[in-house]
Every structure is written in C-alpha cells, then in structure tokens.
Amino acid sequence: MKANQNKHLIPPKGLRSVLYYKYNSLNSRIWLFLVIFLLKAVFSPFLEAQVTDSTILAQVSDSIVKDSVVIDSLALIQKPDTLKYRISPDSLDAPVFFDARDSIEYDLQNKKIYLYGAAKVKYTTISLEAGYIVLDWEKNILTADYVLDSLDKPIEKPKFADGSQEFTANKLRYNFKTKKGQIIDARTFENNLYVLSEKAKFFAQDSTHARDYVFSQNAIFTTCDAEHPHYGIKSKKQKVVPNKLIVVGPSNLEIMDVPTPLFLPFGFFPIFEKRHAGLIFPQDFENSPVFGFGLRNVGYYFPLGPNYDLKLTGDLYMKGSWGVQAAMRYKKRYKYTGEFTISMSTLKTEVKGELTPQISRPKKIIWRHAQDNQAHPYNSFSASVNIESNKFERTTLNRADNVLKNSYESRVTFRRKFPSSPFSMTASLGHSQIIQTGAVVLNLPTLDIRMRQIYPFKRKQALGKERWYEKFSLTYSAQTKNTIRTSDSTLFDKSTWRDLNLGAKHNLGTSASYRILKYFNFSPTINYQELWYLKGDDYRFNDELIIEPDTLFNSDGSVSDIRQDTVAFGSVDTIPFSGFKAIRTFNMGASLNTKVFGTIRFRKGFLRGIRHTISPSIGFNFTPDYTKSPFNYYQKIQTDTRQAPDEYALQYRYANGIYGRPPVHGKQMAINYSLGHLFEAKYFARKDSTVKRTRLFDNINMGGSYNFAADSMRWSKVSISGGSKLFRKMTTFRMSATFDPYALSKEGKPIDQFYWNTNRKLLRFVRMNMSFSTSFSVQQIADALTGKKEDKSNKKSKNKSPQKERLVDWFSGFRISHNLTYEFLKEDDKVKGKIRTNSINTRGRIPLTRNWKLNVGNIGYDFTRKRMTYPDFGFSRDLHCWNMGVNWQPQRGTYSFFLKVTSQPLDFLKLPYNRNQFDAQRVAF
C-alpha cells in the first residue's frame, strides 16, 4: 500500500501483521526473514541516530506472535553497548509504542508508518487513539483522523491525552519535538466544563512554556454533555490554562444556537482542581416591591489550609435591607468533621401611616461537629447547635419544613470515660426554643458526673454461694447546671446574661434483687437526693385592697357613672434572699413482682393459639412530709383577706429552682399496685404454610396506690394505659384513662365518700384519651394489598405486573400521615367525646413523566379547624443541562419561578422570579 493512498480506506480485516505487504503465495516466515534482512541493510546507516536511542518499537499482534519470529527491539535498546553507533542529536528522547487492530504499514521511502483500525500511539506522557494514524519519524509529526463505518458515519475519532490535557477531535496533528499541536473540531473537558472549538492550537509544558496552553477559535464552553450542546458561552477567541482558568474575549450566551442579549466584553472562569480563593458569583437575584432589586449569595471563598475553608456571602437590596452569612467547614481524617454557620439580616419594611420603616434583625447560628470513632478511646466531643432569633427561618424562608417547625434544640457535649474506674464525666451546653411563643431556655453549662452500678460488698474471689448482702448495688450521680430563661428577641442582649440561675443536684441510690419462692422477684430500694441553691424567696401577705375606678357608659356613649371597684383583696409580696441552701429528699420502698402465663392452643383453622401474659406487681413506698418541720421547704401564706386559715396556699421557697420541687401532697406510706397485660396470637399463614406470631396488644397497664398516712381519701385514682401497632405497624394506637373511687360534691369537688356508696359503681369515670397515628408510603399499601412483606433489599417482585410496578414507582417517594385524637370527659353525669386532633398531611415527589415532577413539600387539611395546613407544592422540569420549576405557598401568598443551569461552575446562569413573605403581605394589605 502506498503512502498517498486514501487515508479513510480500511484494509481487509483478515490481513493483520506487523509489516503489511501484498503477498499471497510465499511462506510468511520466509517473507518475514527477508524483510528483517532488508530492514537491517537499509537502516544500518541510520542506526547511529535511531536504534540505540529510543527507536520506534512495533508491538506485535497476537496472530504473529504465535506463528512468526518477533524482533526483540527492546532488547537492543536495553543493551546499547552491543551497537556501537553515535547518537544523533535529532533523535527522540524516549521510545514510541504503537499498535493497530487491522494493519500497520511501513513507508520506507517517505519514512512514515500508517496505522489502521483502533490505532494507538504512546510516547512518554502522550497517548493517542484514533481510527487512522500516520507517524512521520523523519519530521516527528503525528497525524490522526477518524474513519467511516458502513453507513458513512464517522467513528473512532481521535482521542489525545498529554498529562492534564485531554481532547476529542475530528482531526489532530502533533509534533513530538516542539510539543505543539493543532486540532480541528476539538472537544475537551476541564473540571466540569466542556470546551468545543472549530480550530485550536495547544502547547505542552517545556523549556519555553511554564504551563500547558490551549488557544481556541470560534469556541463555546458549557456544562452540557450533549454532542451538540443545548447552551453555552460563545466567543471568537479563548485561552485555556488547564486546571487554572479559561479566559474569553467578547462573548455572549447562546441557547439552542440562538444568541441572547447577555453579552460579556471579557471573562475569567476558574477551573481549579484544588480549592482556590475566589469570588462567589450571585446565585440568585430578585426584584422585590418591598426590598427593591437585590443580589443574593454574593461573596468570597477562602481556603484556610488543608483542613478548613471559609465562605463569606451576603444579600444586598436597593432599599437598605441586607444580610450576611459566614460558613466555615473543617475536616481532619480520623479526627473530626463539622461546619459552623452564622447568619444575620437587617430587613426594612414600610408601614402604612408611618414615616420611619420598621426594622427587624433576625439572626441564626448553626454548628455541627462529629468526632471520629477512632479519634480517642476515652474522650468524645460532639455538637448540634441550631439557634435563631426573631423567627429567622419563618421570616426569610417559605418552605414547609421551615415554616411548620415548632421548636429548636441544641447541645454541645464533651464526654470523658475514666479508665479502670466506674466514673464518667459529661460537660454540655444546651438550648431549647419554642418558635410560637419565642421562649428560650439556655443551660450554660451542665456538668454531670456519674458512677455506674457497683456492688461494694461483692467478694473479688467468690467461693461458694453468693451471700445476700453481696447483691446490694450502689449508684451515684452529680450534676451542676446554670439556666437562663429569656425570649428569642432578647437572646443576644447583654441584660439576658445577668439573670443566671445556678443549681446542683446529687443522687445516691442503693437496691438489690432476690428470687423468692422460685417465681417471685423481691427488690428493696433506697434513694437520696440533695439540691443546692444560692438564692430563694420568702413571702409576705399584704392586706391592702387594690381599688380601681370603673366607668359606666350610656347607650349613646356618654358617661353614666364612675364607681370604685375592688379588683384584689390583698396581694403576696416576694422577698428574695441569697445564701447557700440544701434541699434534701429521700424515699425508700420495696416491690414484689412475677409473671403469669395463660395459653390456649387450636389445632386447626387460621387461629392456632392465644397467649395472655399477666405481670402483677405490689410495692411499698415511704416519703416524708416536706411541708412541715424539720424540712419547711414550703411556706403557708394567705393570698386573700376573705380566706380562712385552712385555705391558705403553699408557696415553694425556691420557685425559680431549676430542678423542680419536692412533693407537696404530704407524708406517703403507700402500697402501690399494678397489673400488666400482654396479648399475643399465633396464626397459620397459607402463603408459606408456616405458623407465625403477632402481638394483639403491646401492653395494657392498670395501677394505683393506698396511702396509710393520709387522713382521708387514702385510695388514689386508678389509671389505665395501653397501646398497639395496627395494619402492619403503619398505625400506632395509644389509650389512657383515669377513674376515681371517690364521689363528687355538689360543687364538683372530690369528697371522702366512695362512689359505690352513692351510685353503686366501683369507679367514677374521669377522662380518657385515644390517639391513632398513621404514616405510610404507597409502597407499603401495595405490599399490604398483595400480602407481601416489606422488601428491605429493594428487589422488584417477579410476579408484579408492569402496570402495577409503574404505578407504585410513580408514587414511591410519596408519603401520607394522619393523626386522630379523641378525648372523653364527664360533664353533667354524661360522658362526652370530643375530637381534639384530626389532620392529614402528604409530602413527597411524584414523577409525572420522565422529566416532569410534582414536588409536594406539604399539603394537609385540619378537620377540626377546617382549613388547610400550609400547602407547599411545585412542579419541576428536567431540561437535561437546565432545570425549570415553580413553587407556590398559597397560604402565605408566596411563589417562586426559576430557570437555571444545573451544574457548576455555570450554575449562576439563572432566571428567578419570586414573591417573598413581605411582598405577599403588602399585596394582601
């Protein structure tokens, strides 16, 4: 085959050899020997320039290796001393490896090598793959082109790689010596950016170029991976510095080959592989009637070493509102990982009828920290902080998850285990916040020291039977806490931190457990608690009447009379005092319990057995009267001049204490009783012919007490509670009821007279609550209807029809929850029921088509209030490299529309349009 033969011509696939010639009759081995002899004779004058220093190596295909003599060129190169020739200065500095699927042709006259079909060439860090390659070893030039298939479509396009540079092109030309190249219709990928150019030149790193460079003409760069991009930024001239940046001249954005009005005189687009400081382009903009035109999330990024980085962003509006946010991330392998974010905003809104705008300054702090399990064997540190003021998320965000959130909690914890010791220590900072009321409780700090259960009387080397006193165990815990109670609006004020409430608590307990009469467990317990406070309150009754004038009006609005009205018959004055005070409480008791089992079996039918487990327990408990001497933790105080002494109220002297208060119901010498019931059943499953077990009721408890120390009404109220899981555990049922053995007076107060004596009934109904909480997905409903168990491996059923499978997959991300609560009260000798809660909520994502999705953040209905519960839903459309969507919250009147690029670094190309909460309030007003 001649050198000027058509380069798109593919030789017959049957002719595969290292040296391809047209021969049909002579033995291949004879021809191979002659060719080797001729090559040696022809190339002998050139060996001093080529053979000894990185000659061209031909990789022999498998068909020749098995049936031919192979030239060991590599062996010749590895032993240059065997060929004593002078090395030419024009020779290459490394060997060139090449291979081809179909054939390899040598043109000795023009000093070229032709590679056909899946051709490959490798030289140092350079690799090239194409359907057709020409290697000119005299000029050190490599040319690559594609080939055509049977349908005249281009295949096996050239793929070039040199270090960090990678190209796909229709035609390529490269010089080994100068490391320069030219490509036609090039396509390269640089850090999530595709660069397509009609013609490009590239320069590899060498003595004259410190870096790799690519100069392109009529180029477009985009994040779209389609063969013909759907969008891109097009310019006539571009310069690409791999792993650094792209510099473009005058350019504009094109969408579907249609130029847009977005024009750039020049541009710099970083494409660093590693983290690098730089500007953060605004991710969003809006034109709000309240705030004016604004840019959101514009800022700067700072990499702070290998383990930390910082992102500073801000929101700027033309009418004076602004917001800033600092977000720092950190991570150290095998040590810890976390992030810290602080945000604050100043929002100015106009109020009708007022000259000065209304200003609100919401703030938010988020901190997440997690320690690796391998960091330390005894110490651990974790943090989960979420604090906000002035309803930050409800004010600045409209998603249902943010608006419907009722509370926030935070906790920063350090734990220390002391080796070879029963003690451990926990130091923590805590926070709880109720969004609706704005109440905030801070625990700064809390220190816990705990001792695990020990047996102080147990022998180290026990010989013989365990003695009775060895079963006594001892537990101890100590805690000190500093509490601040404030509101979210004053959380960051200096005055908040002055109202500190400090306290400490010690708990000491001992217990034991003995087996009596084989079936009974006897457990005695003694518990002691001591509280420490540094301040308290005394109370004094002020018998001064509080009188205020009361104005009476006529029907026409004129004043009829002014009278003096007594609004309070005295008051209670609080007198604070300071000083150390210990509040000591203790109790002791014992309990006796056992279990009784009852079983009924059936040999045939669906139901095969029922088992009833009864857990009776009886105990004794003693608690002293803390309202009397020597304790005197309560003060008996008059609150009204019309009260009798026996109607005086008890006021706790440490009402602001952080650990609650001692019992106020007097001395307790009570016998406690309880009775637990557990119902289980066995049934025959026809599907797999096995007997299975299930719980009918998880637990039903009934309990009460009898106090010997009480002067009247010694029997306590009887409480009954229970629950169960229904409908494959999709529904949780809970029930609680209260009954009283004593009757009521005409005023509706309990009296020391049994209900049996007045109504011939053992117990008087007081109240009962029943709740049903249901949560399920569409997949769970489908499994329940088909009798299939929940498939945790996510494998599709072979028996499921394609129609059902598509329907279930359609709703796979959709979830429905329902809450129903009944309350029954006795009024006017009649039991009346009332629905306290009855609401249904749905959320999830439904793929309407392959590209259209319905996003339901929340859609619910409250049947008691007869209104929807903050509907939040939207539609989104996948446009391959773009994403379009609309979200709507009709209850607030807010909405948003967006059309944006999905991938970085061009995700700043976004067309947003929205109306925030303040704009919606202005329209409604």
pLDDT in tens, 456-514: 998 887 777 888 889 999 999 999 998 888 887 777 677 777 778 889 999 999 999 99
Question: Taking a C-beta distance cutoff of 8 angstroms, is the pair 496, 486 a contact?
Answer: yes
Instruction: Count Cβ atoms below 10 Å from residue 171 Cβ, excluding itself.
Output: 17
DSSP secondary structure of 752-783? EEEHHHHHS-S-EEEEEEEEEEEEEEHHHHHH
3-class secondary-structure state, position 756: helix
Contact 778, 808 (CB under 8 A): yes
* 454, pLDDT greater than 50: yes
pLDDT above 60: residue 187: yes
3-class SS of residue 712: coil
SS3 668: strand
Taking 3-state DSSP, the helix, strand and coil percentages for the chain, each rounded to the nearest 5, stand at 10, 55, 35
Is the pLDDT at 768 greater than 50? The verdict is yes
Contact between residue 858 and residue 872 where contact means Cβ atoms under 8 Å apart: yes
Contact 727, 784 (CB under 8 A): yes
Strand pairing class (882-889; 872-879): antiparallel
Choose among 483, 389, 410: nearest CA to 444: 483
Distances (CA, A) of 184 to 77, 217, 443: 36, 10, 69
Neighbours of 632 (CB within 10 A): 11
pLDDT at 924 over 80: no
Model confidence band, residue 630 (pLDDT cutoffs 50, 70, 90): confident
pLDDT in tens, 73-89: 333 334 444 445 555 66
The DSSP-derived string for 348-394 is: EE--TT-SSPEEE--EEEEEEEEE-TTS-SSEEEEEEEEEEESSHHH
pLDDT, residue 65, reads 33
Question: Over 80: is that where the pLDDT of 326 sits?
Answer: yes
Omega of the bond leading into 250 within 30 degrees of 0 (cis): no
How far is C-alpha 726 from the chain's CA centre? 30
pLDDT of 60: 33
pLDDT band at 281 (very low <50, low <70, confident <90, very high): confident
For strand 363-371 and strand 308-317, is the pairing parallel, antiparallel, or unpaired? Answer: unpaired
Residues 209-227 as b or e (16 or more Cβ within 10 Å = b): eeebbbebeebbbbbbeee
Average pLDDT over the chain, rounded to whole? 79
CB atoms within 10 A of CB 569: 14
User: 141 or 273, which is more confident?
Assistant: 141
For 893-918, the pLDDT digits (tens) are 777 888 888 887 787 777 777 766 65
The dihedral region occupied by 796, where left means phi > 0, alpha psi between -120 and 50, and beta the remainder, is beta
* Amino acid 96: pLDDT: 78
Is residue 802 within 8 Å of residue 868, measured between CB atoms?
no
Q: Give the pLDDT confidence score for residue 784 in this predicted structure.
A: 66
- Residue 77: per-residue pLDDT: 39
Report the candidate in 70, 71, 142 with the shortest Cα–Cα distance to residue 112: 142
- Output 27 or 678, whichever has higher pLDDT: 678
Q: pLDDT tens-digit profile of 45-68?
A: 444 333 333 333 333 333 333 333
Distance of alpha carbon 878 from alpha carbon 672, whole angstroms: 65
Q: Which residue has the higher pLDDT, 659 or 647?
A: 659
pLDDT digits (tens, 9 = 90+) for 843-886: 888 888 888 888 888 888 889 888 888 888 888 888 888 888 88
Confidence of residue 789 (pLDDT cuts 50, 70, 90): low
Can you tell me the distance from the alpha carbon of 98 to that of 95, in angstroms, rounded to the nearest whole number?
Answer: 10
Give the model confidence (pLDDT) of 825-844 as tens digits: 988 778 888 999 999 988 88
Tens digits of per-residue pLDDT, 531-553?
999 988 889 888 888 777 777 77
Q: What is the pLDDT of residue 395?
A: 63
Q: Is residue 636 predicted with pLDDT exceeding 80? A: yes
- Region of 316 (left: φ > 0; alpha: ψ -120 to 50; beta: rest) is beta
User: Mean pLDDT lowest for which of 10-19, 299-308, 489-498, 821-830?
Assistant: 10-19
Report whether 21 contacts 15 (CB < 8 A). no
* pLDDT score of 85: 53
d(CA 303, CA 268): 19
pLDDT digits (tens, 9 = 90+) for 105-131: 888 888 888 889 888 888 777 888 888
Residues written for the chain: 925
**3-state class of 64 per DSSP?**
helix
* Side-chain half-sphere exposure of 379, counting CA atoms within 13 A: 7
Kind of pairing between the strands at 56-58 and 96-99: parallel
**Does 16 score more than 50 pLDDT?**
no
Distance CA 903, CA 225 (A): 11
Average pLDDT over residues 212-222: 81
427: pLDDT confidence band, cut at 50, 70 and 90?
A: very high
